[in-house]
């Protein structure tokens, strides 16, 4: 299990030494999510209420674990896209945890 975690830290953020790599992952996942949700827009959770749909903001709302733009609660993806939305949430948390772990490792050595 430790080897998997080390590998993830290396791939996602270069053990904290390459935070731009984590930014590239975020940009890539944002572009992918924006494209997919632009093609197949999620349905409103409450018809006629809430903000207008924005594919970029919706994707960022899924990816960024602490920030809430209100899009995730206002829209529900269709059956197949729901799994993609879950994947984006999981990858967002993984990206955040790995980046924080890598940065604390680097800062702890300084």
- Among 108, 103, 104, CA closest to 13: 103
Of the two residues 16 and 11, the one the predictor is more confident about is: 11
Q: Are 8 and 94 in contact (CB under 8 A)?
A: yes
Dist CA 19 CA 26 (whole Å): 11
- The confidence band for 95, taking pLDDT boundaries of 50, 70 and 90, is confident
Residue 34's contacts (CB-CB under 8 Å, 6 or more residues apart) are 55, 56, 59
Residues 18-61: tens digit of each pLDDT: 667 777 888 999 999 999 999 999 999 888 888 899 999 999 99
Can you name the residues that pair with 76 across neighbouring β-strands? 43
Q: What is the pTM of this model?
A: 0.79
- 70: Cβ contacts below 8 Å, ≥ 6 apart: 50, 51, 61
């Amino acid at each position: 299990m430790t080897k998997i975690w080390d590998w993830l830290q290396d791939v996602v953020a270069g053990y904290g030494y390459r935070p731009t790599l984590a930014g590239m992952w975020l940009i890539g996942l944002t572009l992918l999510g924006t494209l997919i949700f632009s093609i197949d827009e999620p349905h409103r959770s409450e018809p006629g209420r809430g903000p207008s749909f924005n594919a970029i903001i919706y994707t960022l709302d899924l990816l960024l674990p602490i920030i809430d733009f209100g899009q995730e609660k206002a829209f529900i993806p269709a059956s197949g896209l729901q799994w993609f939305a879950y994947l984006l949430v999981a990858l967002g948390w993984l990206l955040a945890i790995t980046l924080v772990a890598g940065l604390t490792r680097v800062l702890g050595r300084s």
